[in-house]
């Protein structure tokens, strides 16, 4: 398949099951809600070393939040319920509880739940108190600024992690232009691109020659290793490769984002230095979700 002069590889991205939650962080204004959200989702690019993958889903207007204030929706993904619970409590406790004017609520219903205010309420040292509205409990935790309001539990849903595609370009500049266009087009409900700016310069493969290292540079797609890597996947005219990784609340959400991203990346066309689109997989052994690039388009 050729899209605007760009070859779309007959390959598939391989993704795997995760658990996810959506948190709604509100504040006196959007600026402070975003500050808390950015702090909370820092160092959350990959479960390989970060414990979770997280990012901002979108900004919310006052009519969309439980307390009628501006807010930000954050998605957090982990491999299992226990890991997700630990990451959420630590990140909300250190980055949202501490941030001026914020409150924190569950933004999704699920059959499974993790503690939110249930554990963080103890910071109130016995002065905290709760109120139940319908079947939902909220905690008011006294802090020096005033009070921190937080919902007792957050819903958890099955999710999909590790969707991806790779942009093969003639130069680093062309690759970055295409990647930025892709990330902008992919933004939408139910998905995040957890790496910095949504873009991965250091894609990895499973395993390493060094004992104890579970991932290492994807040498097959490193242009500087074309003459050294045992099985380079790059043609001679490829000078740079960037990857987009997608996590989503559903298979459909990842598929939509992937298709939108590929189309946007290809708008620069071969004349703009975009030479090909491919994806990372491990022969179907890593996960049950397979996103075939040509089918998505």
- Residue 103 vs residues 19, 26, 37, 133, 135: alpha-carbon distances, Å: 23, 5, 11, 16, 19
Backbone angles phi, psi at 76, to 5 degrees: -125, 130
Q: Which pair of structure tokens corresponds to residue 232?
A: 């380079």
pLDDT tens-digit readout, 65-104: 999 999 999 999 999 999 999 999 999 999 999 999 999 9
pLDDT at 206: 86
Weakest-pLDDT range from 130-144, 169-183, 205-219, 265-279: 205-219
Angle at 197 (CA atoms; ends 19, 75), nearest 5 degrees: 25
Mean pLDDT of 175-185: 98
Judgement on whether residues 140 and 249 belong to the same structural domain of the protein: no
For residues 35, 114, 160, 162, the Cα torsion angle rounded to the nearest 10 degrees is 60
The last residue of one of the domains, among 157, 191, 221, is 157
Judgement on whether residues 170 and 201 belong to the same structural domain of the protein: yes
pLDDT over 80 (residue 229): no
CATH assignment of the domain containing 202? 3.30.70.520
pLDDT tens-digit readout, 111-158: 999 999 999 999 999 999 999 999 999 999 999 999 999 999 999 999
Judgement on whether residues 240 and 229 belong to the same structural domain of the protein: yes
Q: What rounded mean pLDDT belongs to the chain?
A: 96
Judgement on whether residues 29 and 136 belong to the same structural domain of the protein: yes
pTM of the model: 0.95
The last residue of one of the domains, among 117, 138, 157, is 157
**What's the number of domains the chain is made of?**
2
The last residue of one of the domains, among 124, 157, 190, is 157
Domain that holds residue 143: 19-157
- End-to-end distance of the chain based on CA atoms, in angstroms? 9
Judgement on whether residues 67 and 93 belong to the same structural domain of the protein: yes
Judgement on whether residues 267 and 172 belong to the same structural domain of the protein: yes
Q: How far apart are CA 5 and CA 174, in angstroms?
A: 14
pLDDT tens-digit readout, 4-63: 999 999 999 999 999 999 999 999 999 999 999 999 999 999 999 999 999 999 999 999
pLDDT at 285: 82
Judgement on whether residues 171 and 239 belong to the same structural domain of the protein: yes
Compare 230 and 260 and report the one with higher pLDDT.
Answer: 260
């Amino acid at each position: 398949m050729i899209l605007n002069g760009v070859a779309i590889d007959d390959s598939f991205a391989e993704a795997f099951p995760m658990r996810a939650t959506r948190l709604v962080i509100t504040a006196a204004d959007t600026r402070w809600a975003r500050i808390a959200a950015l702090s909370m989702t820092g160092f959350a690019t990959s479960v390989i070393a970060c414990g979770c993958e997280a990012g901002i889903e979108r900004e919310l207007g006052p009519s969309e939040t439980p307390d009628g204030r501006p807010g930000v929706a954050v998605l957090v993904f982990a491999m299992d319920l226990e890991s997700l619970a630990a990451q959420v409590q630590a990140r909300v406790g250190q980055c949202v509880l501490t941030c001026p004017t914020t409150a924190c609520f569950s933004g999704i219903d699920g059959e499974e739940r993790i503690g939110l205010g249930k554990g963080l309420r103890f910071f109130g040292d016995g002065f905290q108190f709760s109120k139940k509205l319908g079947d939902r409990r909220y905690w008011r935790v006294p802090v020096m600024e005033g009070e921190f309001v937080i919902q007792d539990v957050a819903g958890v849903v099955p999710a999909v992690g590790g969707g991806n595609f790779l942009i093969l370009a003639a130069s680093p500049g062309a690759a970055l232009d295409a990647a930025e266009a892709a990330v902008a087009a992919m933004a939408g409900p139910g998905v995040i691109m957890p790496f910095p700016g949504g873009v991965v310069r250091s894609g990895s493969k499973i395993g390493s020659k060094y004992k104890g290292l579970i991932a290492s540079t994807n040498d097959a797609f490193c242009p500087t290793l074309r003459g050294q890597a045992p099985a380079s996947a790059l043609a001679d005219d490829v000078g740079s490769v960037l990857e987009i990784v997608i996590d989503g609340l559903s298979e459909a959400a990842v598929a939509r984002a992937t298709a939108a991203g590929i189309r946007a990346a290809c708008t620069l066309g071969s004349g703009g230095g975009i030479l090909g689109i491919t994806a990372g997989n491990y022969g179907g052994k890593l996960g049950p979700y397979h996103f075939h690039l040509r089918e998505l388009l």
